[in-house]
Structure formats: structure tokens, C-alpha cells
Chain A
Amino acid sequence: MLKSKTFVKKTRKGGVLKVVREHYLRDDIWCGSAACGQCPQDKPVLESDPEIDSSLCGFPHYLIPDTNVVLHQMDVLADSAIRNVIVLQTVQQEVRHRSGTTYQRLRDQSNNPDKNFYVFTNEHHRETYTEREQGESSNDYNDRVIRIATRWYNKHLQENRKDGEAPKVKVVLLTNDRENREKAQKEGLLAYTVHQYVKSLTGNPELVDRLAQVDMGESTDSDIKNEATGRVLFPEHLPLSQLQTGIKSGRFLQGSFMASRENYLEANVLVHGDESRSIFIQGHAHLNRSVNEDAVAVEMLPEDQWKCPSSMVLQDKDGDEETSEPDLGSPKVRSNAIPSGRVVGVIKRNWRPYCGVLQPSGIKEATRHLFMPAERKIPKIRIETRQAETLQGQRIVVSIDGWPRNSRYPKGHFVRKLGEVGDKDTENEVLLLEHDVPHQPFSQAVLNCLPSTPWGITKEDLACRQDLRDLPICSVDPPGCTDIDDALHYLEKPNGNVEVGVHIADVTHFIRPNTPLDQEAANRGNTVYLCDKRIDMVPELLSSNICSLRGKEERFAFSCIWEMTKNAEIVATRFCKSVICSKAAMTYAEAQMRIDDKNRNDAVTFGLRGLNALAKILKKRRIDAGALTLASIEVRFHVDSETHDPIDLETKELRETNSMVEEFMLLANISVAKKILSDFPSCAMLRRHPQPPPSNYDILIKAGKSKGVDIETDTSKSLAVSLDQATIPSEPYFNTLLRIISTRCMMQALYFCSGTLPESDFFHYGLATPIYTHFTSPIRRYSDIIVHRLLAVSINADKSFPDLLDKYKSQALCNNLNFRHKMAQYAGRASVELHTQLFFKNKVTEEEGFVLFVRKNAVQVLIPKFGFEGTIFLKSQDGRGEDSPFVFNEEESSQTAGEVKLRMFDRVVVQITVETSHIQHQKLRIRLVKPEVPGFSVPPVEASDKISQPPVKKVKT
């Protein structure tokens, strides 16, 4: 029975509610040490003879960190040198309340058997529990609890040594709180600050760099000017309790802080709970040390202080401590002012480790350096390191520790280095890390879940599947595609109707729920495509072999088969698990050729023609319903087979066959969505695309007006129609540009669980369909795996399992998938950018471009051939450049210099080079060639070639 010894009550009082809770104390919680001869434990976590070289503690010892040490020095604790740590429950719980991410990292450490982290449930242990004293603050109480546990451990390990001979293991308390340390020392305990302890580790000097610089208390000399003068640069953050009451009373608003990519002094705060509402923040003091993605509390400014975005592109250029704030405001233009506010406090920091480079420092032996993150939304970070020399020209990872009021930049510490700047593998690693893409090789546990090879279809498999091997099934994909997850067939029926089938790789046959393979795939969420690399969601054996519907091989499929009239009206739909054998795996071009080749009349070609005809009808119907065709330019690099450097690039071509496959995939997705929603009204995984708020379209309408074209945006239908009509014969590229701009007005499409939203929100705006899901790519998207499982249950082909039918878990999964999906897109784009940069290395190219946006000090130019967008700065960044010949006209958004006027959609010729002068932060530089502006534009290539030669050579050596 129960071993509850004493029986104590714990209470909570907030408002008028009083909660009484039981608190059982136990005597069956073991110490977890292998050196202990008394506790009857199976597998002690802590080693009996912990080895670490410390000049301070020259004996075997375990560490007990206090809460603040765990919170701030997680990077030190996570180092492989630090082992044999006792994590007290008190500490763990407090960390959990204060920082979710640190708590997660702490848990990872305790689950890692190599680290020997032991969680000691001290609050339920009979001898380490203590009641809080009258008038004792919660911090003091926790400190006391930690000391009691430390004392107990010391005593326990001393008294219960194994057969008397084992070396005496001691316990060392790590705390940076002076009072706590002194009290502990008075009680005869060993207590040090982390800094003392880490510096004493003679075997691991590099750990010192990882120490976080926060509240050192006894901080040494400070050479920072502002610290010396004690000047305060930022207003104080209000304490959390005041923020809470302020938010409750409506005086403050809570939201997530979204820094602007273009201007480091501007940001928007998206108000929680009211997604369409955003508050504009401008200037150092108002931003008040917020970092991108923090949860902050904002106070609205009175309306007469509202500002408008400066329409200026601004990068934090030099690392001076001066807070010279460029003149951003033109508060004269009242009409454009938008709701503005200032940050009064930070509710939750969302800091993560950041990748970037060290900014070279003027002084050679300096230990304080500035770090430039790769992500422009993140401010520079001041770090302290002794290895600056070796870190120059390297990509490194840095964590933020804190941001004092008197420091222009946040303070941080070095975590690790990734490799050389400009090296492709390093840069790939950087972009994967920056986008939080899990890219480690699959673990053995995951690989163990794979079917054994050679794999074949057995009789039992055939018994429970429909045999569709005789059907003329074929697949159409982009060239070089190895993960083929869809195939099609078309047959004419005797009754005049046709049968059309979409066959999707049956991935869920191999990925069973809750296996390590499944969990890994759920975490990865999707396959990430970089230019030269694919980061698979499932191991390659599945993705490019067993699940891939390759030509002339027998494969498992999940089939969706319709009976249609020749007018593409669906008569009946059925779903089944099947065995198929694809007759041909074609590329889009091959399929197109077959359709066009009059001499070919085999079943597959016949089917393709039938499908193509149906697809045209389906597409027209969809567009009539208001589906949008938007544009974005996708480019494809030809990669050198040996160096893997890009040697050429082309924009993707669209053929009829592309849209043929797409139409049937859409149809299959919609049919499946209907089916799973009817069978699982509360837990179907669907995809929605909300209609953007009208204000999103402002920029599009303005752009249209500048060319005298009216764009209507009331419904997706009217938008589609007005986009179709918006053509200017003399400017053939105008329509594409408009579509590119309207793509940017759109909201993100999202996965969601049907039980969490009202049915009216299921709508997919872009496709103009009331319901949609993803069914057709289970090899590369996890959402499709869930949809497959739901569909399999609803046709009785498979069993359900608890998590599948739990709408909260399902929604949590959706949130992860949405995040991964977004990050995969960003990573893909970043990879294109990286390759573009590599492509232009050592080259000077001239290309045609179009002005996409006109800003106060710059114009943004889209270069269609390479599908990227660049900024041409027209004025120096502080915005006061009198040297610039350009005059900005905000009303019609144009820049004028003498005769030349730059406006939206104007055609320009630009020169593209890679800026090599600044090796730390290579970037593409775009300069204006045409129209010529004396004193600003650069001469065409022939002339400039010679000028740019020398630096190019320098780089090569």
C-alpha cells in the first residue's frame, strides 16, 4: 500500500479562491548515486567516481546548481564536460515556470544517459522536505530548500558508503547568489559561483567562453563607455505583476514583437487574441530592448504622437555606442500615421541561439566583441571571448544572456563555431539552424522501424488490398524527382462515363503510429528542399524506394477513384488501399510530348489526353469559382557535379501537364477532406486559408493605381477577375509583377483540427473551396500521413489509435506542422539566396529588373531572370544624405533625380556583384546602370569590369 508518512497541506490563495492540496512525503526516493550502498536502486544515474579536473574541488564531486544557474548557464551545463549533476525538483519546477525552453533543455539533459543528470524529487522526500517559515520570501525558501537537500546529500553519501572503501564523493552547490552562498558556507557546505567553478576546470578552459554574462554581481572592470558613465539608455521594464494588472485593465496590450527586416529601428507588435491588430513601434527607447518574437506588453501612445513607417531601409551599420538616432519620422504626414505604441515590459523572452559572425574589432587583444547575427531582425550582440582571433571569418553561434538598461546592445556568450564563412556546407548548416530544421541523420531507433530489404509484396498484403496492377497507371513529375508520391489513371467505362484514379503512395503502411520513425517524421513535419540538398522527412529507403511509385514496379497505394461524366461531374467517389504498378514515370516534358505526338495511341497516352481534357474543364470551373492564380518566380540551379557550385540557373517553366497533375491532386484533396470531415467531425486534419484583411491589399491597390488600373479585392473572385484584366500591352511584365505583389498580400494557409474552429472558418481562400486538406504527398508532408490514417479508419482499412482522435493533440501537431512548413519555405528561399550569391561570386552581371517598391531612401528591384529582389540605396542610411541626387515623393511614391524618375514597375538595368570588401557579411550588391543618373549610376559592364578585377583576384588567393 501507500507509503505516505506525514500528511501536510499546501495551499494557494489568489482572489477569493482557496485550494487545499495534499502533499505526501515518501521514504522510497533514492539518492541516485552509484557510490551509495544503502538505496536499493536499479540503475544509479550518478557515477560512483565522477571525474572532472577542478583546481577548486580536487576530489570526486557531484554538482547541485540553483535555479538561476540553470536558467542562465544552460550552455555550460549542456557541455559534455559537465556531468554528474543533481537537479533538484525545486529547481526544475522553478525553471519550468520561468522559461519553457530552458526547462526543455534541462529535461533533455536528464534524459541523456551520458550526462548523468539525476532529478531528485526533494520536495516529496521525507528528510529533505521543509515547511516555509512565517514571513519567508519564496526565493529565500527555495534557497533554503536547496541547501537542505545539499546537506542531506553530503550526509547521506558519507554515511552510506559502499563497503567503506569507495572514495568519498562530495556535493558542490553552485549558486551565484551571494547571500545563499555565504549561508551555505556557514553551514559547512561547499558552495561556489559558476564562474569560480568553471574557471577552476583545468581540463576544459574553453568552457569559460560559454559563461553567460548576466548579473555577475561582482563584475570586474567595465570598459564600456556607457557603463562607466552609468548612462541609462533605455526606460525601465515594468515588473510582471504590474504588467499583468495593466493588461487586465486594458492599459497595456500583450503581443508578440515582430522586428522589421528592413529597418532596425522599427517593429510591429501583433496583439494576442486579435490577429488583425498590430501596433507600430519606432525608435530605440520605444522598442526598449525587445528582440524579435518576444512576448511584450505595449502601451498605446496618444494619437497625436502616432507615427508612420518611415519607408526607409535601415541597417544597423556601425557598432558605436552612441545612440544617434537617424531622423526617421516625418510625423507631418498625419494622414498616414498608424496606431503606435511603446514597449513597457517584456512578458516572455523568446531568445534562441543565433548564428552569425564576429564583427572585427579595432583593438587587437580586446575580449569584448560585437556579434552580427545572420538574421537581420536580431540586434547585434556583445560577447566576451578570448578566441576572437580564431573566430574571425567563422560562422559562430551565440546566445543572448540579457540586456541591461545601460547597454546599447544585448549581452551574450559564445556557444560554438560552425565553420568558415562562405563555405557552402557551413552556410547550409547556418540556414538549417536558423530555420530550426531538424537535419541530423536518422537515429538507429528510427532506422530499425524500416522494412527489411529486399522488400516484396506478400499474399497477405494482396488479400487486403485491391489489385489495380493492370490499370494503365502513370506518374508525371519534375525531372530528377525520386520521391514520386502520386500517380494517375484514366479509363472509359461502357456507360459513357470515365473512371479517373489518383494513386498516392501508401506511406502509412510502413510508418506505424507512435514508433520512433513516426515520432521523428512528426517532428520534422516535412521534407525540406534546398537547392543542392534534400532533408528528408522519412529515411531514404522509404522516400525514394519502397514508397516511391516508380515506373514498372509494384507498389502499395492509397487510391481515390472517381466515376465522372465527360464533363468532369463526379458521379461517385471511392477510396481503397491498393497494389499498383505504374506503367511509366514521366517528366512533365515527356508527358507533354506524348500528348502532342499524334502517332502514339497506347493506353497511357490515351489516358493522358483524357486527363488533360478533364483537367482543363476542372481548372476553368475552379477559376470561375474565384480561385486565384498568383505568381512567384522559382529558379532552378544547374549545379556543377563535382564542386556542387551553381554554374547556371533557369526559371521553372510551366507546362499544361503541370496543371493537369495539379488539378487532380486538388480534386483528390477536396474529396478526401469531405470524407474525413463527415466521419470525424471533431478531429479531421484540414487546411484553411483565411481571407486577408482589406488593409493587406492597400499596397496592391496603390500599385495598380499608379498605372491607372483598378484592382478590386472584395472577394477572391473579383480579385482574380481584376488581376486578369490588369494588363498593359506595352509592359508585358506588368501583370506578373502585380501577381507577385498580390501574393505578398495573402495570409498563410494553415493546418488545423476541425474540432477547434467553427465550420465557417474552414474556407480556403486561394483555391476558393469550402474545405481542403493535404492527402497527396505523404512522403514529404506529415499532415498527409495523418489524413491517410484518418481515411484508412473511415474506410475500415486500418485501426484507429488514441492520439489520432484527440483533437487537442491533433491541434498541437498542426501547430508544429505549420511552424515547420513556414520554416521549410524560408529555408528554401534562403538557400536560393545563398546559391545566387555563390553564382555571382567573381562575376559582374548586368540584368533587367523592375522596380517593385519605392522607399524613402531606396528602391527595391525585382530581377525576374534570377527571381530575386535587391535593394538599391539611393541615399546614405541616416537618411540625411544631401549628396544624393534623388528626391523622394511620398504621395506618388517616386524618386526623382533631374530628368530621371523612378516609379513602381519601371524597367531598370542593374549591375549585380557580390560585395567582397566586407568578407564578414558577403552580400549581393546591386547598382543602377540604366536609367543613367550622373554621379549615381555606374557605367555598363565593359568599363566596370576592369575596376572590379583586383578585389576578385584577392579573394581567389
Chain B
Amino acid sequence: MNSAAVVDTIKQVIGDVVEKVKTPTPTRLRDLIRQIRSARTAAEERAVVNKECAYIRSTFRDEDAMWRCRNIAKLLYIHMLGYPAHFGQLECLKLVASERFTDKRIGYLGAMLLLDERQDIHVLITNSLKIDLNSTAQFTVGLALCTLGAIASPEMGRDLASEIEKLLKSSNAYIRKKAALCAYRIICKVPDLMEMFLPATRTLLTEKNHGVLITGVTLITEMCRKSPDTLAHFRKTAPNLVRILKNLLMAGYSPEHDVSGISDPFLQIKVLRLLRVLGKKDSETSEAMNDILAQVATNTETSKNVGNAILYEAVLSIMDIESDSSLRVLGVNILGRFLINSDKNIRYIALNTLLQTVYIDYTAVMRHRQTIVDCLKDPDVTIRRRALELSFLLINQSNIKIMTKELLCFLETADPEFQSQCSSNMVLAFEKYAPTPRWHFEVLLKVLLAAGNYVRDDVIAGVLQLVSEAVSLQGFCVGQLWNAVRLETPNESGLVSKPISEKQPLAQVAMWCIGEYGEFLLAGKTVCDEEDEVIVATESDILQFLESILTSNQSSLVTKEYAIMALGKLSTKFTSGLERIEKIMRLFSVNLNVELQQRGLEFTQYVSKHSNLKSAVFEKMPAMETSKANRLVANGELKPTETALPSVEPKKESDSLMDLLGLSDSTPPALEKLNSDKKAQVSSQPLMDLLAGLDFEPSKPPSGIGTNQSLDALLNIGSSPTLAGSSLLNGGDSLGLGLLGLSQPASSNIPSITAYDKNGVQLAFSFSKDISSPDNLSITMKITNTGGGNITDMLFQAAVPKSIQLQMFPPTSTTIQPLESVQQDIKITNQSKVQLRMRIKVSFKRDGVPITDQGEINNFPTATWQ
């Protein structure tokens, strides 16, 4: 016997045990939470968490199976606090594969929280799920179903659909209800699999267990939404659903399902929702449910939230299906009761429902107008938002005056977020229903005063258009505007509500009108009626005002552009102040902003050297034509047949802008809906036309000045020869600056392309090549916001084949207002002359909602790479 060997072995064993004992047991979850809670600063907490994470990582590396469960539990807690925990994904899968229920439970919980279908690791769980779905222990199956229902991907759905179908027929209700929701998830991901579940789903309706009924009804609702065939099929089951509902209504008190005196409100709501889907546009099915809906609507106890929840669903169903007229009256009356309910939640859903029903039953909603308008004063922002939306839908010819009064009151005190939306919508409503142009102008002026800088450009466009059209009112308008801006100027004593710097849109409108129609102001022809006050301004008054705007650093760039334009226009109207005008202009010939500098120079030339051209260049703009269709009552003739509701769509903004550009659009916008593509074309086309008049290459975008193209166009339009003229005039001067480089075409007519037009964003590429270096291509990309809402954080990324080099320059701006655009330059060096392709990624936020999209551009003209 080799005693030495035995002693060695014993030593070894003891050593191992001592080693094992030395490695500390991991902290318990409870202790970790205590430690984290006792951390006094964020840094301390981070230190505790980092230490623990490092430890957990090391145990994962050591394949320590004994404490895996505890470590994952800790990791999930850390994850909830917002620290990265993705390194635990694989360990969750290991736990899931364990035999113990405790491990599985934590493992599946971790899988649900940490995994998602976008990660490859996700498919690894499929096998464990399959095994557990076939397990005999109900809770193991339950865990697997729950996980599958939360994270199933299309592939997993296909792989496991047959198991789910089998479990749908299980004798255990606990499993059946979970399987139904799994089936729901699977058909959401893979609609083709619906067929497979149909037979098993049908039997779910005969179920006694409420949990299974709820999930079964959910599943059927989704199926009906997805496929018209299934919908037709399940229409036959309407009587079954009616019976379920009837049983719930008639059933006495059952402690299991009772929620404050009502038997299973959740199931009732689900069934009512399904009935709505089934009865929509089908009079026969609707007929079958009329009675029960009437019963629900009359018999439900409404002292508690639950009762109202059911009533609310019933009303929605009544409104959606082809119900009796008497039933509808009942529904609208219930909504009327909701609207004066003291519970804010009920008021909110009443407004919400009225919004949906206003298209169905206009007069019924109209009856509640006063109550709705009163909700505008509610302290709750959610209710205000709904009420505002509804108020705009309720405006018509007969109530426009009174509604405008209410809305103006609201506008004055509203939050900024409401002000721009509200003012834009008001402009649309005025356009449709204004009784007289004078009233129209007066309310627009009030809107400009009330909403200040939150007014969007479409409002400005609307006012300018109105003034330009109403020839007899122009004097009055310019007088009123003069008064309005003068009262706001800081150096004026008296009424100073807000400084002019917070009312830039008003200043812009005033500037434009003074420029165009300043002669009325000089002559004092500012009266419309007898009792109007006569407003007169002297040349020096006006000049002083313009100068104060131009020199103030609180004026926005656009305002200054308007002001300098007005100055130019006035130079033909004034007799004495010409030197002063020239002096101001000269100041701007060295301005840092290219646009202002250019204008300053051009106009100085006209005023001094080339004054013979002046009167032609600064001629008065012709009246802008509108499509008369959206002026139903502009001439005072009411058209009672027209009861169309004012549609609140951004589409109109484009129209008014277009109109502003003096382009008569043949399609009356209120009648015909332009689809977005067409709109985009329309919006780019006129700009091109405009530029064609400027002697540029047709494919060139405007000379790269200013970010605000539509406004630029607006400013240019009266003086369209100016640009071309001035580039020639100043060609030799130092003033040519970048302008020449930009405007002189480098070479070749490569046709432009529209590279991308989705999500309300259009990317138009125009190309130019320098003859001296044919390998280099410069692309000027115009990013246009063709949808509604502001775009912020615009980011354009592009990738090209390896043999091509790509250089991106920053865009002129990363925020784009609706229907405006920014530019970004791209330089491409393609020495090997391979075909140019580009993979692009566009990401931006529209009104704060992030949107990302990718695409590939393959339609580059051959000339771009050959």
C-alpha cells in the first residue's frame, strides 16, 4: 500500500474543499438591494453596481452553475435600474435548460426582459421552449407559453405553431388561455398560420372559464381584423357572443368575477369590442346585437368606473355598427351625460368618442358645442387637447364668429405647443367660413398678435394672400398692421404687451404690406368704413421703424429679409428719404449673412447707379390668385349644400404657399385630395420654374442661399430679374463671393433624380461635374419635408461601393419646417468609373417621434459615373 499516494490524494481533496470554502458565496439579492439603497449618491450606487456586475461576469466566466439563478436575479434588478445587462442573455438560456423549476422561472423571466427578436441569440431558446411546451408539468408549460407570447419571432412562430395548436385543445384551462394568447402573437407575426388555429379557436367560444373566454375573444378579434374571410366566418358566432353577454348581465353575484358590483367587466368589454368588429358594415349581424346593446346601455350601473367603462364600449359599438336610429339617439345621449360628468376621465372619453362620431352624426355632436368649448378652459392639458381638436371640427358658417371669439381667448393663454397648431387651424377655418374679407383680416391680425412667434409660416402666407387679393381693403390692412407693430415697438410708450421680437411673424406681414402698399399709409387712405380711424405715417416714421427692425439683433433673419425687401420696394414710392434708404442698404452690403448682403448690394445699385431700372424691378406684385373652392362664403353667398367638415390637413398649407408663389393650381384643394407624391412634385416644380426664369441651369437648385426656400422664392418673386441682373452687375466685384462659384454651372446637364420619397421626406439629388476633373461628381441634395410636422435631428448617412470615395458636408440645417427644405452637399470621387450606387440611411424626428429608414439608390443617371 502506497501510503504517500493516499496522503497526497487526501491533501488534494482537502485543498479543493478549502479553496471552495474560501471563494465567498455571492451576495444575496436582498443584500445587494440593501447596499444599493444605502448608497447616498449616484456615483456610490454606480460603484456598488459596477463591482457586483464585475463579480457576476466573473462567475459567468467560471461556469458557476450553483449560483447562476441568484446572479441572474441580481442582474435583472440591476437591469431595471438602467445598467447594461445584456451579458446575462446566454446565462438565461442555460437556466432555462435546467431541470429545476426555480431556475427555469428566473431563466424565462430573464429571457423575456433581456432578449428580443432582433438578436441572433434569440433563436437558441426555441429548442428549450419546444421541450418545455411538451412537458407534463403545467407550470413549466405555462412559463414557456408566457415567454413565447412575449418574445416570439416569425421563425419561432413557424417552428412552434403546431405545439400551440395542440395546447389550445388542452384540457387544462390554465394552459388553454395562455396558448390562445400565444396563437395571437403568432398570427400577428405570421398571418399565414391563421388557418391552422381556426378550428381550435372556434371551440374557445363555448368555454366556461372566463380567462379562456377573454383570451379567446382577443384572438378572434385579431383574426377578424386580419382577414375578411375569417370575419365573415365569425359573423355567424354573433349569437354566441350575445349569449355570453346576456349571461353576464343576468348572472347574479359571483364572487370570483365581481368587480365593484359588475360581473367580469373585462370580458364584457372584450365581447363588446368583438361585436363592434363583427357588426361593422353588416346589417344582418348588427340586427342580431341591437337588443343586447340596448340592454347594456340601459341596465349598466354607472356609479363606478367599471360601469362607465362598459357603457363607453357599448356606445362605441352602437356608433360603429349599423344600429337603429333610436339606439343611436340613446348612444349620443349617454355621451352627453358623460360630457357633464364630474369625473375627468369620463369627460375625456366623452370628448374622444365625440371626435369619432362627429363624422357620423354631426348635428348630434353640435348640440354639445357649448360644453365642448367650455372644456377648452379645463386645467387638464389632455382634455384641452381633445376639446381643441373637436372645436375645429365643429366650426361652420353659422357659428364661425362666436367660435373664433372663444378660440382667440384660448389662443392668448394657451401653451406654446397649442399656439402654432391652433393658429394654423384657425387660418384654415377662416379661409373656409369667413363672412367678409374685412372680418377675415381682423381675426388674422388677432391671431398674429396672440400667438406671436409660435405662428407657422402658413399663417403668414394666408394673411399675405388675403391682403393681396382684397384690393379694396389694402389701405385698411396696411394701416391696421402699422398700428399693430407700432404699438408693440419697445420705444413706443403706451400699450406694450409683448416686444416685437416675440412677434416676428406679425412684423414680417407688416413689412411685406408696407413695402407693397406703403403709399396708402403715406396718403392716409386707411379707412374702410366711415367710423374707421385715419392712420397716417410719414416717410421718416416708416424708415425709422424699418431701420429699427433691421438693426435690432432680436429680429430674426427672415424678418430682416422681409424688411430689406420692403425698403427696396419703398424706394420707388418715397420722394425724400432716398439717401437714408441708400445709407441703410449700404450697411448691409457687408453683412455676414449672404442673403442680406446680396440684397443690400443689389438694392444699393438700383437706388444709386441704376435708378432707371428701379421702378420696373420694384413693381407692385400682381394679386395672388386663390382657388376659390375653399372660399365658400367669401363673397357672402352661403352654400347650404356644402356641409363638408373642415378637414384639418397639412395639405392645405402647401396650397396656400403655392398660391403665394403666384402659381394657379388648377385643382381646387378642398375638393381633391392630392396624394403626397403629387404634392411633392407640385412643390418642387414651381420652384424650378422660378429658377428657370433666373437664367440658371434648370437642374441647379437656387444659389444655395438661405435655408428657407419658399420664403426666398417669396421675396424674389417681385424682383425675379434682380438676381440674374445683379450677378451680372456685380460679377466683377468682390461681392460675387461664393455666389459666382455657386451659380455658374460647372458643366454638363445631368438630370436630377428623386432618390427617396417616403415618410414625408423627399431627397432630390442634382448633379454637377467639373469638366477639368471628370472623376469628381458633386451632388447637391435637397431634403424636403413633405409631410406635416417639424422635422428635427435630420441625419442622412450614405455608403458607396469601396472603389468610390464619398465626402459628406454638413447640411444647412438639421431641422426642417413642413414643406421646406435644407441642402446638403456630397462629393464623390469615382476614379475607376464603376457604376454608382448608394445605400442610404435617413433618420430624423418628426414632432419628436424618431423615424429611421434605409434604402438603396440604383437609378443614378449614367452620366454621373461615366
A binds B: no
- Give the B-binding residues of A (Cβ under 8 A): none
- Give the A-binding residues of B (Cβ under 8 A): none
